[in-house]
Amino acid sequence: MKRHLTERELIEYQFKLASDVRMEEISGHLEGCARCREHFEQLKCKFSALDLLRQVPRVSEDLIARVIRRAEERPHVKRGAKYLAPPFRRGLPWIGAAAAVLLVGLLLVTYMNRQTMPSREMAEELEPAAEKIKFDVKAESALADRFDKDVAVEKMVAEAPGESEVELKDDGRRRTEESSLVSRASSLGSIAEQPPFAPASAIELVVLPRRENVQLTIYNSADLTLVRERRNLTLKKGWNWLQFMWANTLIDPTSLSLEPLEQKDKIYIQQLVFPARLRELGRWLIHSDFSGQVPFEIMYFTSGLSWRAFYMGTLSQDEKTMHLQGYVRVTNNSGEDYENAQTRLIVGKVHILDQIAELAKRQYPYDRPVVIEEDKKDQLKQMLIREKVPGIGGYGAAGISFEELRPKEIRKEGLSEYFLYTIEGTETITDKWGKRLLSFEAEDIKVVSLYKYDQERFGEQTIRFISIANDKEHNLGETPIPNGNVKIYSQADEQGYLSYVGGTDIKYIPVDEEIELNLGPARLVSVEPILMNYKKDNFVFDRRGNITGWDEIQTWRMEITNTRTLPVEIEITRGFSTAYWTLQADIPYEKYDATHARFKVSLEPRSKRTFEYTVRMYHGERKEVLTKRK
């Protein structure tokens, strides 16, 4: 599809109104077209408003009782066998006869089915067991074949010593349905000649060793969080199975990665398997030449964690300084609790391969398509490099080789436009909970209050702005400030009572950048423009007597009122219908752009001030006057 998608096509795609063929075409186009993707995201965002009405009301018991009572008052007219009567009464006996034959037939079929049922049921019960046996035999021989080719592994196995049992450090507090790790000995006797077959039984499931620590990096724009957790596992010499479950969570199973943090030369992570028929779990096969406790880092992506920044500013009584508190609200809907997590937030847009939530819902994570576009792969690599990923054991199953994703060097320059925002200390973020965290606090930030009057932008209202800069001079500037909502309060009196001044959304403020906050209409400062004089002059005519040029002269009086108890400064912008104009005013002005002039006026507390200006606008051939003058 060469052209861009229309809004209709995008709507039809989102709500699955198009045919399957068309859906595939649109999907294909969206994958390759950033512009349409952006348009689609905008539409999705728009329609997400519909979810505000998702809540289902509950019917009150009172209403149900009323409905039932009403029904009981009026027993239904026809019931039971009576409603079968009309066809017979209408003289259609053959319908009755046909129905009787059908009924008898049906009864006979049901009876015969019942007779054959037990043997059928037994066969159904036996079938999976038979299949399982077949599968086990096949898989064992397949693994054996593969292992024969794997010289490195073979050598390791030959060198491995005898006994192999596994202990598991267990705090006994975790529920079994949560993500869990299992470590078990692969064989009871000496180390096997080949890696053991992935255990398909759930009998060996045990609870998880407690996390030593966990780090969350939340990429808000992509509904993506990188989780790096450290757990101490006790391994025995030989082969060990480690099981990870992600039931009831939004973890992306294709992103699972495991890496020993110590004894790296003695521990070899051979593979990650997703056993058939067992849902939502993966098992790592680990060979260890070391016996004892080893810290491991488990890393994966999950969805469902998000954050949002917001700010509260309190202006001093003279409105020259402000106390600013920055907060971050982290919300966890991932299905997993994260205790004492070091939380890092990514400000900026990150493009990712898939929606992680979708991946988490897949029944067979290893069965996903392996085609990954080169540019997307690069993005993922870069992101992982930035996160100092030590190794990606689990990606073999997803079609990306171990070596391919192993970072060769750590580069930070020019990777992306996003910024890492780290919350001090650690926080416990429980599933389905939100948590508000203070991200920074700054006192005595110098602010500049400015009122603006611009009819074209704000109508007849005067709008209040305050500006601050994210730099050292303003007691800020240590980190960029993420986008979020800011609310400004003012100290109403010396007792510290506050009054709400206004609020606005702010964009990301880099260090050393200035920002202007629009606090909304000001009721105590007003500007009233009054047209004092209007005339047209200096008409120019062509040979036929038609007007081909003229001057338009307007005289305006601007009345400014400040009823506040503080002095104010107002910026008044006036627009003209042409770029050819000259202006004479009582006070200095600045030519803001081709068609606008700007005045700055200071007013004392509770005062009024007026000034006048006359603008001459040149139309038609009269424009030449100005051009020649220039």
Partner 1 sequence: MDSTDRSLIDAHCQGDPTAFGELVRRYGDSVLGYLMRMTGSREQAEDFFQETFKRVHEKAHTLRGDQFKSWLFRIATRIAIDSLRRRSRLRIISLNQKSDCADIDRQELGAAALADDSYEPSGEAIKAEQAEQVRQAVQSLPAKQRATLVLAYYQQLSFAEVAEVLDCSIGTVKTQMYRALRTLAERLPNIGEDLE
Interatomic CA distance for residues 426 and 437, integer angstroms: 11
CA geometry: angle 27, 28, 33, nearest 5 deg: 95
Q: How far is the CB of 359 from partner 1 (least distance, A)?
A: 21
Q: What does 204-239 look like in DSSP terms, one character per residue?
A: T--PPPPEEEEEEEEEGGGTEEEEEEEEEEEE-SEE
CB nearer partner 1, residue 182 or residue 506 = 506
Q: How far is the CB of 303 from partner 1 (least distance, A)?
A: 14
Residue 221 CB, nearest distance to partner 1 (Å)?
A: 11
Q: How far is the CB of 61 from partner 1 (least distance, A)?
A: 9
Q: Give the whole-angstrom CA distance, residue 560 versus residue 611.
A: 9
Report, in Å, the least distance between residue 311 CB and partner 1: 13
For residue 116 the two structure tokens come to 């054959």
> Taking phi first (over 0 means left), then psi (-120 to 50 degrees means alpha), and beta for anything else, what does residue 565 get?
alpha
- Can you give the binding site for partner 1, defined by CB under 8 A? 7-8, 11-12, 15, 17, 43, 45-50, 52-59, 63-64, 66-68, 70-72, 74, 76-80, 82-83, 220, 306, 308, 310, 329, 331, 433-436, 483, 485, 487, 503, 505
Residue with tokens 């890696």: 195
Facing residues of 490 across strands?
A: 315, 499
Q: What is the DSSP letter of 338?
A: E
* Of residues 72 and 494, the one with the C-beta less far from partner 1: 72
**Residue among 54 and 114 whose Cβ is closer to partner 1:** 54
Contact between 183 and 234 (Cβ < 8 Å) = yes
Query: Which residue, 43 or 276, has its beta carbon nearer to partner 1?
Result: 43
Closest separation between CB of residue 310 and partner 1, Å? Answer: 8
Nearest CB to partner 1, comparing residues 78 and 264 = 78
**Nearer CB in complex with partner 1: 16/628:** 16
Give 290 or 418: the residue with its C-beta nearer to partner 1.
Answer: 418
Distance CA 57, CA 183 (A): 47
**Own/partner pairs for 566-569, CB < 8 Å, 24+ apart?**
566/318, 566/319, 566/605, 567/602, 567/603, 567/604, 567/605, 568/449, 568/451, 568/525, 568/602, 568/603, 569/449, 569/450, 569/451, 569/600, 569/601, 569/602, 569/603
Q: At what angle do helices 93-149 and 151-159 cross, to 10 degrees?
A: 70
Tell me how far, at minimum, the Cβ of 216 lies from partner 1, in Å: 17
Pick the closer one to partner 1 by CB: 53 or 371. Answer: 53
For residue 437, the minimal CB distance to partner 1 (Å) is 10
Distance, in Å, from the CA atom of 395 to the CA atom of 401, rounded to the nearest integer, reads 6
Residue pair 274/282 in contact by the 8 Å Cβ criterion = yes
Q: Compare residues 499 and 563 and give the one whose CB is closer to partner 1.
A: 499
Least distance to partner 1, CB of residue 539, Å: 46
- Concatenating the DSSP letter of every residue in 162-190 gives S---------S-S-TTSS---EEES-SSS
CA distance 349 to 332: 20
The CB-of-429 to partner 1 minimum distance in angstroms stands at 11
Q: Which is nearer to partner 1, 57 or 91 (CB)?
A: 57
